[in-house]
Amino acid sequence: MNDDLKGAGPGAPDADGDAERNDFIRAFVREDLAAGRNDGRVHTRFPPEPNGYLHIGHAKAIMINWTLSQEFGGKFNLRFDDTNPEKEDVEYVESIKTDVRWLGADWEDREFHASDYFDQLYAWAQHLVREGKAYVCSLDEEQIREWRGTVTEAGKASPDRERPAAESLDLLERMRKGEFSEGKYTLRAKIDMAHPNMKMRDPLLYRIRRVPHHRTGDKWNIYPMYDFAHGQSDAIEGITHSLCSLEFEVHRPLYEWFIENLPVPYKPRQIEFARLKLTYTVMSKRKLLQLVKNNHVAGWDDPRMPTLSGLRRLGYTPTAIRRFAERVGVAKRDSTVDLDLLKWSIREELNREAPRVMAVLRPLKLVITNYPEGQVENITCENNPEDPNAGTREVPFTRELYIEQDDFREDAPRKYFRLKPGGEVRLKHAYLVKCEDVVKDAAGNVVEVRCTYDPESHGGSSPDGRKVQGTLQWVSAAHAARVEVRLYDNLFRVPFPEEGGADFLENLNPDSLEVITDALVEPGLGQVAPGYRCQFMRLGYFFADPVDSKPGAPVFNRTATLKDSWAKLEAGGKPE
RNA sequence: UGGGGCGUCGUCAAGCGGUAAGACACAAGGUUUUGGUCCUUGCAUUCGCGGGUUCGAAUCCUGCCGCCCCAACCA
């Protein structure tokens, strides 16, 4: 279970016994295969820009590309779209590789960078100029915008549109050498200033940026724009199906224009699908960056973040994320998936895999008055009712225990079947105990419940078959380990943090994190290694934080709660 | 008002002319030493709306309505 950073391993899309998937992308691929295109190859790629950490939305894209390549016996590349050095950084490159590997997508030795192709791209730019299909433009940023026209009005030609090729070539070369300041010139394709698709109105190919690049250093003073770099990079790598999100649909004609007008070695096909959106969070890298920069969270890997590093730290597994991506499907419809589906994906796995242990978050002392003082009994506890092979463990039981404050109520509603005065409950795996008395502090708060136990109920059985409705987890006061527990909840308090043009920061959930520094857990848990996953019985699934846990002092992050139908009942006002 | 997309259950999503899969959510029962899990059952006579074609349409045609994307020297 401790696969925190080892990754899922190359692997196969989770064999789920599912029928063959047949979304519209796979249909296209089958069509291409049937038509004998691409020599029967299928080659995809995941092309992140290294300007932020990957999030769950990227996981969807990664899995679509990766599983597609695997299902058709093809290949999968990782390519960094690093054409904008101002925003990019090696820190991001490293985190991205870690995350993609963790998910189990294997690019083998095919880690590429658009920057690997800068020389080729430059040569192709010169080619277009020579062909009279590109020119160096001297309009400034604002002029370019104005001259481009609007969606309903045609744009007008740049005064440099007919600049002789030789002159453009010379200017381009000088741009490259760094003879001009940023913004002085741009290289533009000569297409159609009246084109109904704005992207086709003489788009920029290169802009001057006199900043060093994290990989090419100060070699370049000009950098290619996304449109000029992306498709050609696909072509160079022999990508057969270039998958991207819906907003690039309007770029497709441009993508194809370059492919048609350049002597590229291959003609890839761009296919667009809807990106993933989730309720109760935000997904844009810009907004996530803002959360990090303004310290609304502790970093890109804060467990409340929808980043893969955040989810990993929360306790999610690669498998759960993969299953989630499968369930979400692929289509072209803008959609927002219910966060519950993600949560369900991790619960499903952990219910099957996670060992059950006992922990008390908010301790309330329980004394068994008829239990011998000083006696310690080792209670055999089943590790996982869902897994017969999980075995058992021994947990010490004594006269003084702690139970959850929530599990005792002096004035209990009718359907409350936990501990109450005069009531009897089962202490999981141990004995039946009956509440005889309570001890209160000066303020009238119950600080101790005094019970008697039934010695005949060893193991928690009911000796005479009497009905005992409640079963509580417990820890021995003398043996319990004290640990820090972090209870994470949704980052936002509303499903759509930006609905109605709202400032998403206004909708942050003030209770997204509750830190409990003195939770009590059964003794063995105090020595658990970082990355350990378990279920705190009746409370939820927990993960020993890989960053803040120390030897002998694990910090537990709540990965997910358990479904709580009592809470729902009570909230619904029906318990009485 | 130009161009490109999309509209099937609360949320995703199958369906591609033969009479609405599945998942999550929700609801009701059952099992249960986790008010967890599991099991059973229910949950779109209807596919944005209106016409048309057809023996038959969510699937074809047509008109309308709604939502998203495009006027960064971002990707």
Please report the ipTM that was assigned to this predicted complex: 0.97
Q: Which member of A41, A49, A199, A348 is catalytic?
A: A49
Q: What is the pLDDT of residue A85?
A: 98
Residue A2 clears pLDDT 60, i.e. is over it: no
For A191-204, what is the mean pLDDT?
98
Which of the four pLDDT bands, split at 50, 70 and 90, describes residue A501? Answer: confident
Nucleotides of B under 7 A from a protein CB: 1-8, 10-16, 22-27, 33-38, 67-75
Q: What is the pLDDT of residue A17?
A: 35
Q: Which residues contact A284 (CB under 8 A, 6 or more apart)?
A: none
Residue A11 clears pLDDT 70, i.e. is over it: no
Q: What is the pLDDT of residue A573?
A: 63
Question: Distance between CA A122 and CA A399 in Å, rounded?
Answer: 79
Question: What is the three-state SS of A262-307?
Answer: CCCCCCCEEEEECCCCECCCCCCHHHHHHHHHCCCCCCCCCCCCCE
Which residue, counting CA atoms, is nearest to the C1' of nucleotide B8? A333
For A51-61, what is the mean pLDDT?
98
Please indicate whether residue A26 is annotated as part of the active site.
no
Residue A4 clears pLDDT 70, i.e. is over it: no
Instruction: Find the nucleotide nearest A569 (Cα to C1′).
Output: B35
The pLDDT tens digits of the residues spanning A258-275 come to: 999 999 999 999 999 999
For chain A, give the percent of residues with pLDDT over 90: 94
Instruction: Using CB atoms within 10 Å of the CB of residue A314, give its burial: 0 to 12 exposed, 13 to 18 middle, 19+ buried.
Output: buried
**DSSP letter (8 states) at residue A520:** E
Instruction: Find the nucleotide nearest A142 (Cα to C1′).
Output: B73
- Kind plus residue range of the DSSP H or E element containing A381: strand A377-382
Interatomic CA–C1' length for residue A332 and nucleotide B8, angstroms: 14
For A422-430, what is the mean pLDDT?
97
The pLDDT tens digits of the residues spanning A145-174 come to: 999 999 999 999 999 999 999 999 999 999
Q: What is the pLDDT of residue A572?
A: 78
Q: What is the pLDDT of residue A6?
A: 41
Which of the four pLDDT bands, split at 50, 70 and 90, describes residue A574? Answer: low
Which of the four pLDDT bands, split at 50, 70 and 90, describes residue A245? Answer: very high
Q: What is the pLDDT of residue A301?
A: 98
Please indicate whether residue A400 is annotated as part of the active site.
no
Instruction: Find the nucleotide nearest A348 (Cα to C1′).
Output: B37
Residue A413 clears pLDDT 70, i.e. is over it: yes
Instruction: Find the nucleotide nearest A141 (Cα to C1′).
Output: B73
For chain A, give the percent of residues with pLDDT over 70: 96
Interatomic CA–C1' length for residue A334 and nucleotide B67, angstroms: 9
Q: Which member of A209, A275, A365, A393 is catalytic?
A: A275
Instruction: Find the nucleotide nearest A426 (Cα to C1′).
Output: B33
Q: What is the pLDDT of residue A15?
A: 34
Which of the four pLDDT bands, split at 50, 70 and 90, describes residue A302? Answer: very high
The pLDDT tens digits of the residues spanning A340-360 come to: 999 999 999 999 999 999 999
Which of the four pLDDT bands, split at 50, 70 and 90, describes residue A500? Answer: confident
Which residue, counting CA atoms, is nearest to the C1' of nucleotide B2? A152
- Average pLDDT, rounded, for chain A: 95
Please indicate whether residue A79 is annotated as part of the active site.
no
Diameter over CA atoms, chain A: 102
Residue A366 clears pLDDT 60, i.e. is over it: yes
The pLDDT tens digits of the residues spanning A228-239 come to: 999 999 999 999
Interatomic CA–C1' length for residue A337 and nucleotide B28, angstroms: 27
Residue A3 clears pLDDT 70, i.e. is over it: no
Q: Report if pTM > 0.90.
A: yes
β-strand A533-536 against A540-544: which pairing, if any? antiparallel
User: Could you tell me where the DSSP H helices lie in A16-140?
Assistant: 24-34, 56-71, 90-103, 118-130
Q: What is the pLDDT of residue A202?
A: 98
Structural contact between residues A274 and A333, judged by C-beta atoms closer than 8 angstroms: yes
Interatomic CA–C1' length for residue A249 and nucleotide B69, angstroms: 8
Residue A130 clears pLDDT 60, i.e. is over it: yes
Structural contact between residues A270 and A235, judged by C-beta atoms closer than 8 angstroms: no
Q: Which member of A75, A148, A207, A285 is catalytic?
A: A285
Residues belonging to chain A: 576
Question: Distance between CA A547 and CA A549 in Å, rounded?
Answer: 6
The pLDDT tens digits of the residues spanning A58-108 come to: 999 999 999 999 999 999 999 999 999 999 999 999 999 999 999 999 999
Q: What is the pLDDT of residue A1?
A: 40
SS3 A397: strand
Interatomic CA–C1' length for residue A37 and nucleotide B63, angstroms: 39
Interatomic CA–C1' length for residue A474 and nucleotide B34, angstroms: 12
For A323-334, what is the mean pLDDT?
97
